[in-house]
Amino acid sequence: MEMSAPAKAGGSGYGRDEWPLEPSGYELRDEVGISKHGVVRRAYCPGCQKEVAIKVVNLDTLVGEGEVDRLHAQTTLLSSMSDEHVIQYHCSFVSKQELWIVMEYAAHGSCQLVMTGDDGAVQPLAEGHIAAILSSVTRGIAYLHAREHAHRDIKAANIMVHEDGRAT
């Protein structure tokens, strides 16, 4: 299955426009999430000296009509975004039957993970944390809307929380 995907970073802020476009350019670490179409892994890019998140999508599992086109459109859109309140896309490439999407890593994971206690029960967040997350999320949404785009799946599992408290 052939899929052309953007390869250049969009506003990564790391002073370089090129990221490795093959799996050997990354050291895969632990699994940090599961998405609709794949697994998200924490990884390290030795060439960039940065920790990243990599979503690996098995293209053979995209069986619905237009799923490949929708995924490509989402990746292309993400590559055009450059705002601190939108997760930063670095690159994507196809290796064998897998699409690798390399993005900014959020150390605290999803808001859903942050709200879940060790026993699996939802734990309330402090009012200050809620305010900070909502502030970041609304700024990210405003950025998208100003570019005439809408995020059609806003939920705790899709809000990433960074070490500095910023949410994307």
pLDDT band at 33 (very low <50, low <70, confident <90, very high): confident
Is 153 annotated in the active site? yes
Predicted local distance difference test score (pLDDT) of residue 17: 61
Q: Which amino acid is present at 35?
A: S
**What is residue 14's predicted lDDT score, i.e. its pLDDT?**
32
Q: What is the pLDDT of residues 59-68, one digit of tens each?
A: 888 777 788 8
Q: Which of 77, 119, 107 is nearest to 167 (CA)?
A: 107
Task: Give me the residue label for tokens 């809000």.
Answer: 159
Q: Does position 1 have pLDDT exceeding 60, yes or no?
A: no
pLDDT of residue 40 exceeding 90: yes
The percentage of the chain sitting over the pLDDT mark of 90, rounded to a whole number, equals 54
Catalytic residue among 118, 119, 153, 164: 153
Rg of the chain over CA atoms, in angstroms?
Answer: 16
- The SS3 call for residue 42 is strand
3-state secondary structure of 148: coil
- pLDDT over threshold 90, residue 160: yes
Predicted local distance difference test score (pLDDT) of residue 118: 74
Region 109-135: mean pLDDT is: 89
What is the mean predicted confidence (pLDDT) over 18-28? 94
